[in-house]
Amino acid sequence: MLLNPGKWGTFGPFYCFLRKIAFHTVDLLRKYFAPAVLLCGGLLFLVACANQTPLTGGEKDTEPPKLDSTLSTRNFQTNFKKQEIALYFDEWVQLKDVFNQVVVSPPLAKRPVIERRKKSIRFRFDDEEVLRDSATYVINFGNAIVDLNESNPAEIVFVFSTGPYIDSLSVSGSVVDAYTGKPVEKALFMLYENTADSVVRTERPFYFARTDRDGNFTISNVKTGTFKAVALVDENLNYKYDGQNEKIGFLDTLLKVLPPPKPLAADTAKADSLALVSDSLALPQVGALPDKVRIRLFQEEAPLFLKDRETRTYGQVKLVFSREPDSLVFGHEDIGQKVLVEQRADTVVVWYDTPADTTWKLFVRIDEERTDTIEVEQRPRDLFLSGSRVKLQAERGPKAEEIHPDTSLSLNFNFPVGGVEESAFILSDDSTKATLTVRIQKDGENPRRLFVRSAWKEGRSYTLSLLPGAVTTFFGISNADTLVRTFKTQLRKDFGSLTLRVKDLSANKNYVVRLLSSQKEVFATTVSGKEEAVIREGALAPGIYEVEIIEDLDNNGKWTTGNYDEHRQPERLFRKALEQMRANWELDVAIEPTFE
């Protein structure tokens, strides 16, 4: 063993002491034992002082372990019988992340045992595992097998067939998110021989592959046949679709994998051929032959149900749903009450005012089959009225007290607005003290909001005073005190303007055109019955914007996801990032959307 005192730090002097003894020993041996001189002299080369340079270890190992095919279980066997698969390498190896890296297709019903033995890897089937008849199996070890020093992966794929031949066709494609259009990594692409719709919930796929970081996949060693093709983000790793918690995607047609046609010339040969087969025909017909399969992944809309209810406060019933409801129908037991419905995302507030203190029932029809009944408990109306005050709610955000000179000032109240007295709205210019005429308008979507317009000038500060009696609420309560709101108008030159010219639309379809900033909606408009549309917006803050155009097939004014059981694909959309908006800038953009 080579002595290296550089590793011993402060023990260097000890080695120098040994060196002196060695020299003395050599003198004795030279005098009395001449044959041993060479041996002891070699000791001088093994002993070093503490200031010598330690060994570097040589160049970094970049070579992966090499498979020894003479010792390993033979690859590409036919008529394979269940047995232990042994893979021998030319160096010691180790296993890493076996659960995620090792993929077996078709998937096994039982988890196999994969273990290391010195320079070999052993793959052992479960005793209860039954291999499929006449099926080609592919065991892809991914990056699970690595060497000991640098973790260089040995990319090993083991293929065998339980039938008389190895299937050699392949299916390639990509999986993207239906809404964002971005590739989906680690999604399953699965092929089923059983083409029933229920198969995704009841059976494991016959073939499958996982997508890479670019959303691409390839299934090799596929046999000729017709398959149902489905993509899935398998949250619980059971190779089955378990409902709305998992994302799914599917082809509208069956996928037929065909052997390559006999080429007319050498350069026309293809490794395999794919055909789309309509699943609505008794006799499948072969359509176009796509080179790649593309599936859009979506998450089905969660079922709508009432999660929570609150009736403790007189005048309002708060209902919280599992998601934002689309079309609720409200009814109530008639006791002469007034009722007003306000929706805030997944929460609905039912405002009410009864002529007398009593209990009554509210009915919420979720769909044709489900209606919830809420018993509204008796609450003291007089106590509520005596303790209530009309209040202005502060706007949120750093720019809440600044508005564009061409927009309205919004006023939000704590109760729905019943009526207004415009003469009690006093708007004054802080610099000139002049009083301006105002126009008041109720918000058609939010019953607690008013819009105030006036001929205000840019770069000015204003004060709006709501004198007592200016606002009367749904409950008949008026503001008893003067409510004050101060704000400032911004400069037009600090904003940019946008003109969108959207072309190549279908006059037979509806579209929703949205402008987004940091994924938040700036504005949205609908387009229908037109092949072209021009949209203008003149008060955009500097920043990065994106245009989103939705092919609104159900005409609900928003993007609608897909549904597997209804064979409904998610609505298609188009996105385009715009040139950065600058202050005092006019941006004119022409868009010809392509929907994939």
Residue type, 92: W
- Kindly state the tokens that stand for 342: 């306000």
| Weakest mean pLDDT among 210-219, 290-299, 343-352 | 290-299
CA neighbor of 145 nearest in space, from 114, 176, 166? 114
Looking at residue 59, its pLDDT comes to 75
Q: What is the CA radius of gyration of the chain?
A: 38
Helix, strand or coil, per DSSP, at residue 104:
strand
Environment class of residue 207 by beta-carbon count within 10 Å: exposed (0-12), middle (13-18) or buried (19+)? Answer: buried
pLDDT, average across residues 529-558: 95
Contact 503, 592 (CB under 8 A): yes
Q: How far apart are CA 432 and CA 461, in angstroms?
A: 10
- Kindly state the tokens that stand for 550: 């939705």
**Cα 397 to Cα 393, 402, 544, distances in angstroms:** 13, 10, 19
Contact 413, 393 (CB under 8 A): yes
- At 223-282, the pLDDT tens digits run 999 999 999 999 988 889 998 889 999 999 999 999 877 665 544 444 444 555 443 322
Class assignment of domain 494-591? mainly beta
Q: Which CATH architecture group holds 169-297?
A: Sandwich (2.60)
- The pLDDT of residue 20 is above 80: no
Candidates 2.30.29, 1.10.20, 2.60.40, 2.40.30; CATH matching 306-386: 2.60.40
Q: Who wins on pLDDT, 290 or 466?
A: 466
pLDDT, average across residues 304-314: 95
CA neighbor of 421 nearest in space, from 479, 484, 462, 474? 479
**Cα 497 to Cα 67, 315, 451, 500, distances in angstroms:** 65, 44, 23, 10
Looking at residue 61, its pLDDT comes to 81
Quickly state the pLDDT bin for 27 (edges 50, 70, 90): low
Looking at residue 142, its pLDDT comes to 84
Residue type, 489: T
Please tell me the number of Cα atoms within 13 Å of 398 on its side-chain side: 0
- The pLDDT of residue 11 is above 90: no
Q: How far apart are CA 247 and CA 231, in angstroms?
A: 8
CA neighbor of 596 nearest in space, from 574, 568, 566? 574
Sheet with 371-376, strands from edge to edge, namely: 329-332, 360-365, 371-376
Quickly state the pLDDT bin for 291 (edges 50, 70, 90): low
- The pLDDT of residue 4 is above 90: no
Contact 352, 337 (CB under 8 A): yes
Contact 244, 322 (CB under 8 A): no
Q: How far apart are CA 64 and CA 150, in angstroms?
A: 9
| Weakest mean pLDDT among 55-59, 396-400, 454-458, 567-571 | 396-400
**Cα 253 to Cα 196, 272, 287, 502, distances in angstroms:** 12, 19, 10, 32
| Weakest mean pLDDT among 32-46, 72-86, 212-226, 530-544 | 32-46
- Kindly state the tokens that stand for 402: 């600044």
Q: Cis peptide before 570, with omega less than 30 degrees from 0?
A: no
CA neighbor of 348 nearest in space, from 385, 314, 311, 378? 311
String of DSSP letters for 522-580: EEEEEEES-S-EEEEEEEE-SB--EEEEEE-TT-SSS----BTTTTBPPPPEEEEEPPP
Q: How many helices and strands (H and E) does the chain possess?
A: 5, 42
Candidates 2.60.40.3710, 3.40.190.10, 2.60.40.10, 1.10.540.10; CATH matching 392-490: 2.60.40.3710
Average pLDDT, the chain: 87
For the chain, the first-to-last Cα distance in angstroms comes to: 68
Q: Who wins on pLDDT, 24 or 393?
A: 393
Partnered with residue 74 across adjacent β-strands are: none
- The pLDDT of residue 396 is above 80: no
Q: Are strands 169-177 and 293-297 parallel, antiparallel or unpaired?
A: parallel
CA angle 430, 434, 435 (to 5 degrees): 105
- At 68-119, the pLDDT tens digits run 999 999 999 999 999 999 999 999 999 999 988 898 989 999 999 999 999 9
Model pTM above 0.85 = no
Length of the chain: 596
Q: Are strands 546-551 and 573-577 parallel, antiparallel or unpaired?
A: antiparallel
Contact 524, 514 (CB under 8 A): yes
